[in-house]
Amino acid sequence: MSSPRILMLARADGSAVDTPFRHAALNALDPFGDARQIAWLSDDGVSAGRVAFSGEAVIDDFPYSETLVVQAGSVLLHSAEQTLELGVGDSAVIGRGTRLTLQASPGSAWAFCALNLTDAPLRPGLTWLDPRTPLNPSAAPDAQILIGPAPQCRANNLFDDESTELRVGIWDSTPYARHGRPHKLHELMYLIEGSMTLQDADGVDTTVNPGDTVFVAKGAPCAWRGSVYVRKIYAVK
């Protein structure tokens, strides 16, 4: 496993990113096989990257809990209980153990963050991540790392698995800046609105704009600068 890093997974305009990917299945049960491009794979079961897939996959028992954000094309998720039609910018969580059919239009691609814990309880079902869901007040960053006044933050966990501590939802914040510190959790971020810049320990900036998807590995040094309101989808573990 490489050192924890800030990894840009996809840009809204489809332009190339510097992140290295390797084509590989997460394991023998991976329904997407070599269509998966892995940027991060850790020994605690968390992986992140992207999938370029077209066609249909019928999956009896989805092997992970996986958050996906559509970056190109369209993806239809169909289970016995519901159907989700996802276009560019739409996102959802497929719970571990879900029986579903996935249909992707030609040229479809999505960013993903998956949690593969073989001994975890099943959590079947599909969860749409509504970008405009109502939010509740949440804690601001620790005062000792803030640069300037504390922001006003809100959040709503739309998928919350107590057994694995995987939480996926929507978060927003007024502008703020903070010093770098090791990231407390693995986090996938898809920016809905605003802009922010993440900086690593070497002073390298990663600016995230609407429609971009970035992954910050647990322990990665990461500072934050934002001069405008931001709203994002998050998946944290």
Q: Chain centroid to CA 20: how far?
A: 17
Between CA 69 and CA 229 the distance in angstroms is 21
Phi, psi of 35 (to 5 degrees): -70, -15
Between CA 103 and CA 10 the distance in angstroms is 21
Q: Is 71 left (phi over 0), alpha (psi -120 to 50) or beta?
A: alpha
Q: What is the pLDDT of residues 60-100, one digit of tens each?
A: 999 999 999 999 999 999 999 999 999 999 999 999 999 99
Residue 136: predicted pLDDT: 98
Mean pLDDT of all residues belonging to the chain: 97
Could you tell me what percent of the chain has a pLDDT over 70?
Answer: 100
In this prediction, residue 34 has a pLDDT band, given cuts at 50, 70 and 90, of: confident
Residue 23 tokens read as: 């084509």
Residue 1 has pLDDT above 80, yes or no: no
Cα angle, residue 237 at apex, residues 33 and 89 outer, rounded to 5°: 60
Q: What is the pLDDT of residues 122-136, one digit of tens each?
A: 999 999 999 999 999
Could you tell me what percent of the chain has a pLDDT over 90?
Answer: 97
Which helix (H) or strand (E) element contains residue 161? strand 153-161
Residue 143 tokens read as: 């005062």
Closest CA to 5 of 230, 186, 237, 235: 186
In the chain, alpha helices (H): none
Residue 61 tokens read as: 């028992």
Between CA 168 and CA 83 the distance in angstroms is 19
Report pTM: 0.97
Residue 2: predicted pLDDT: 75
Task: Spell out the domains of the chain, with CATH numbers in brackets.
Answer: 6-128 (2.60.120.10), 136-236 (2.60.120.10)
Tokens 């890093």 — which residue?
A: 5
Phi, psi of 33 (to 5 degrees): 50, -130
In this prediction, residue 118 has a pLDDT band, given cuts at 50, 70 and 90, of: confident
Give the residues across from 91 on adjacent strands: 69
Report the residue count for the chain: 237
Are 129 and 68 a contacting pair, CB within 8 Å?
Answer: no
Over residues 7-27, mean pLDDT? 96
Give the residues across from 171 on adjacent strands: 155, 232
